[in-house]
């Protein structure tokens, strides 16, 4: 394995441990969500289960196989690191100060530096050369563009009317927030990256060969967390329904299937 991938892979191991600690705290330490809005607390419980059962173990496994020179897991590791950075930014900046503050802060820092190191490694490597002939790059790129544009349209359908009325968006008001931080991160960072990565992949530009699958991987993990949140909200959210579950599951399966099809055409070793 080239040494450039060693640092982000090694940083991901303690990050996985911190995610597990964060999840366990959310599930078994009542003070963690005690001051949060009931809807946010219910979402947090669902996300904690997903982080504990799925994300933390997968992050450690992806790190291990990246160290073993796996191209597939290097891309999957990048997507999972992006999810960790995204979720820890929300926890660190938009949760009440509490017993897990230092855990969130440390996890935010580790995920940031690990993702930056991974991106630097991709940029200095010939990632396009990892792909074999027949890789469905245009299909994967098109899906990334469609998902990014669709979610942007979904958020803007709430944001623009609220701006016109001079009111707070409903998703923020329902959660007891002054603004929706998910909309900030999505519209400002995540969805543009998804669209740009997809377009670059369609054009077979070097950027697309790592950014496109990284954002598709992020989407699979984030959607799994959303499924966990939705189930938890319906169970503990005091009658709140959350987003429609069946379309969310279907979108996650399509995203995962296209990503798996793309990764099948990668070489096993770097």
Which of 36, 206, 200 shows the shortest CA–CA distance to 124?
A: 206
Report phi then psi at 131, rounded to 5. -90, 135
Residue 240 has pLDDT above 90, yes or no: no
Cβ neighbours of residue 72 closer than 8 Å, sequence gap 6 or more? 65, 263, 266, 268
Beta carbons within 10 angstroms of residue 95's beta carbon: 18
In this structure, are residues 141 and 133 in contact, taking their beta carbons and an 8 Å threshold?
A: no
b/e for 12-36, b at 16 or more Cβ within 10 A? bbebbbbbbbbbbbbbeeeebbeeb
According to DSSP, residue 100 is labeled T
pLDDT at 25: 95
**DSSP letter, residue 229:** H
Q: Is the pLDDT of residue 58 over 90?
A: yes
The pLDDT, as a whole number, for residue 257 is: 96
Q: Produce one character per residue of 55-82: b if its CB has 16 or more CB atoms within 10 Å, e if not.
A: bbebbbbbbebbbeebbbbbbbbbbbbb
pLDDT at 1 over 60: no
Q: Which residue has the tokens 């009111």?
A: 167
Nearest to 155 by CA among 117, 195, 192, 184: 184
Check whether 29 has a pLDDT greater than 70.
Answer: yes
What is the per-residue pLDDT across 129-183, written as a single tens digit (0 to 9) for each?
999 888 999 999 999 999 999 999 999 999 999 889 988 888 777 767 778 899 8
Say whether pLDDT at 79 is over 90. yes
Q: What does the mean pLDDT of the chain come to?
A: 91
Digit-coded pLDDT (tens) for 191-222:
999 999 999 999 999 999 999 999 999 999 99
* β-pair partners for 70: 269
92-123 pLDDT, tens digit per residue, is: 998 899 999 999 999 999 999 999 999 999 99
pLDDT-above-90 percentage for the chain: 74
β-partners of residue 269 are: 70
Residues 6+ apart with CB under 8 A from 171: 158, 180, 182, 183
C-alpha 257: how far from chain center: 17
39: left (phi over 0), alpha (psi -120 to 50) or beta: alpha
């Amino acid at each position: 394995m080239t040494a450039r991938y060693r640092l982000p892979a090694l940083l991901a191991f303690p990050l996985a441990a911190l995610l597990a600690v964060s999840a366990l705290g959310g599930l078994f330490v009542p003070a963690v969500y005690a001051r949060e809005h009931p809807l946010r607390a219910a979402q947090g419980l669902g996300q904690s289960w997903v982080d504990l059962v799925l994300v933390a173990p997968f992050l450690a496994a992806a790190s291990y196989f990246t160290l073993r020179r796996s191209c597939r897991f290097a891309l999957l590791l990048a997507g999972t690191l992006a999810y960790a950075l995204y979720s820890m930014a929300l926890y660190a900046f938009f949760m009440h100060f509490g017993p897990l503050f230092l855990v969130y802060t440390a996890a935010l820092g580790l995920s940031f530096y690990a993702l930056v190191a991974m991106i630097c490694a991709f940029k200095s490597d010939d990632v396009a050369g990892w792909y074999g002939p027949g890789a469905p790059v245009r299909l994967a790129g098109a899906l990334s563009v469609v998902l990014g544009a669709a979610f942007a349209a979904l958020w803007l359908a709430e944001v623009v009317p609220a701006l016109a009325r001079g009111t707070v968006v409903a998703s923020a008001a329902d959660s007891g927030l002054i603004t929706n931080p998910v909309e900030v991160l999505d519209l400002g960072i995540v969805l543009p990256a998804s669209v740009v990565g997809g377009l670059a992949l369609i054009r077979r530009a070097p950027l697309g060969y790592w950014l496109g699958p990284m954002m598709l991987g992020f989407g699979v993990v984030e959607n799994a967390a959303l499924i966990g949140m939705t189930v938890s909200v319906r169970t503990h959210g005091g009658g709140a329904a959350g987003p429609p579950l069946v379309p969310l599951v279907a979108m996650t399966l399509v995203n995962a299937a296209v990503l798996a099809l793309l990764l099948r055409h990668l070489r096993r070793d770097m």
